[in-house]
């Protein structure tokens, strides 16, 4: 079966259970569906039955201008070369998405990661609020767009201070004159290989 037939088949499966807001074919082996938040669980279980039984990744994108988070579920099939991305928009304020660990138990850690880096809550996952990667984090989640890493770094980590001892092109600098004199002398000595 070639991948074009595959794509048609997946389209049918997804359209049967969810309202597709947008379809995108990224390349020959990757397709993406943008669907409603409430249809995600049905779509994922339908695709799991159809053979896309591994959740490769769950990630989030912070669209700060429109005040939304976009969740991306990447599904992988061991028999057919086609990745499927399921995308869903959720509100940025008090972001919440029902957990999918009943469909893909491995999503447990992806959800914890998304909670840690974006502050999205996943009710249904018993320990989504536990720390996973960051330890003793004391600021807003670091991958939100309104988090400024360099300010945090300046506040938290001592910086090395360097003495300013490099030369500046300063007209009042005496050494600058010396350099010019030396250049002038070098030019005066240059005779093009002929004796003076």
Spatial distance between the Cα atoms of 187 and 174, rounded to a whole number of angstroms: 20
Considering only residues 111 to 130 of the shown chain, the ones binding another protein according to CB under 8 A are: 130
Listed residue (5, 75, 87, 88) closest to 46, CA to CA: 75
Kind of pairing, strands 30-35 and 20-27? antiparallel
Minimum CB distance to another protein smaller for 138 or for 165: 138
In the complex, least distance from residue 143 CB atom to another protein, rounded to whole angstroms: 9
Among 153, 178, 179, 184, binds another protein (CB under 8 A): 153
- SS3 of 47-84: HHHCCCCEEEEEEEEEECCCCEEEEEEEEECCCCCCEE
In the complex, least distance from residue 106 CB atom to another protein, rounded to whole angstroms: 17
Answer yes or no whether residue 146 interacts with another protein by CB under 8 A: no
Q: Which region among 55-63, 69-77, 94-102, 132-140 touches another protein (by CB under 8 A)? A: 132-140
Answer yes or no whether residue 147 interacts with another protein by CB under 8 A: yes
- Footprint on this chain of another protein (rule: CB under 8 A): 130-131, 133-136, 138-139, 142, 147, 149-150, 152-153, 156-160
């Amino acid at each position: 079966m070639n991948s074009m037939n595959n794509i048609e088949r997946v389209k049918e499966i997804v359209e049967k259970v969810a309202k597709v807001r947008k379809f995108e074919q990224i390349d020959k082996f990757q397709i993406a569906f943008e669907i409603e938040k409430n249809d995600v669980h049905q779509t994922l279980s339908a695709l799991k039955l159809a053979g896309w039984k591994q959740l490769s990744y769950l990630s989030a994108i912070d669209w700060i201008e429109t005040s939304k988070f976009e969740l991306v579920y990447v599904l992988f099939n061991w028999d057919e070369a086609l990745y499927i991305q399921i995308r869903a928009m959720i509100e940025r304020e008090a972001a919440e998405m029902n957990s999918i660990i009943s469909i893909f138990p491995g999503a447990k850690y992806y959800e914890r990661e998304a909670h840690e880096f974006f502050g999205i809550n996943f009710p249904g996952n018993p320990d989504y609020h536990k720390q996973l990667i960051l330890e003793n984090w004391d600021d807003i989640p670091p991958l939100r767009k309104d988090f400024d890493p360099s300010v945090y770094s300046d506040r938290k980590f001592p910086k090395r201070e360097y003495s300013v001892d490099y030369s500046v092109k300063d007209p009042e600098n005496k050494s600058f004159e010396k350099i010019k004199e030396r250049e002038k002398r070098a030019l005066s000595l240059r005779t093009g290989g002929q004796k003076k």
